[in-house]
Amino acid sequence: MALAGDADITSDFLVPPDVKDIDGNFFTFTGNRDLVDSPTNFTVTKASAVEFPALNGQSVSYAVLQFPTGSINPPRTHPRSAELLFLTAGSLQYNSDAKNPAAAVSAFGSANAGTVSLPKTLFATNIEDGILAQSFKTDVATIQALKSGLASK
């Protein structure tokens, strides 16, 4: 078994070596200020240590998820964190809601949770079709249909 996560928190915050002056701007994330209109495609706007260096050493990060009508968030995993999803508008269903857009905020227990998209990780690889078919208890034709749907367009 492999486990991954942030190091233990040993200070209030970590100042990146290339930052000379710390003021209120260092602790102010402005990346979500433009999220007022519903996008045409499923959109994720992250606030992790990469986008917001003040999170470095805090073991937290966030993402705003915008779901236009009928959109989906593909199955995924976050290898360095658990995820807590707060629904802020609309409704989300196991099957996409074809009538209403929705918005949510994901909170992570890591400054950089990482994301592994399962469809691409499984079907956009060189894993043999027969192995995938056996693993998913289906046939090779179904696997090939799934792969063709993920092909670059």
Answer yes or no: do 108 and 136 share one domain: no
Q: Does residue 57 lie within any of the structural domains?
A: yes
Per-residue pLDDT tens over the stretch 112-130: 888 888 888 888 888 889 9
Report the alpha-carbon distance of residue 114 to residue 129 in Å, rounded: 27
Q: Does residue 78 lie within any of the structural domains?
A: yes
Answer yes or no: do 86 and 141 share one domain: no
Q: Does residue 108 lie within any of the structural domains?
A: yes
Number of domains in the chain: 2
Domain, as residue range, for 43:
34-114
Per-residue pLDDT tens over the stretch 18-75: 778 888 888 899 988 887 777 888 899 999 988 998 888 888 899 999 988 888 788 8
Answer yes or no: are the C-beta atoms of 22 and 15 closer than 8 Å. Answer: yes
Per-residue pLDDT tens over the stretch 66-100: 988 888 788 888 888 888 888 888 887 755 566 77
Answer yes or no: are the C-beta atoms of 93 and 128 closer than 8 Å. Answer: no
Answer yes or no: do 107 and 130 share one domain: no
Q: Does residue 69 lie within any of the structural domains?
A: yes
Alpha helices in the chain (DSSP H): 118-123, 129-135, 140-150
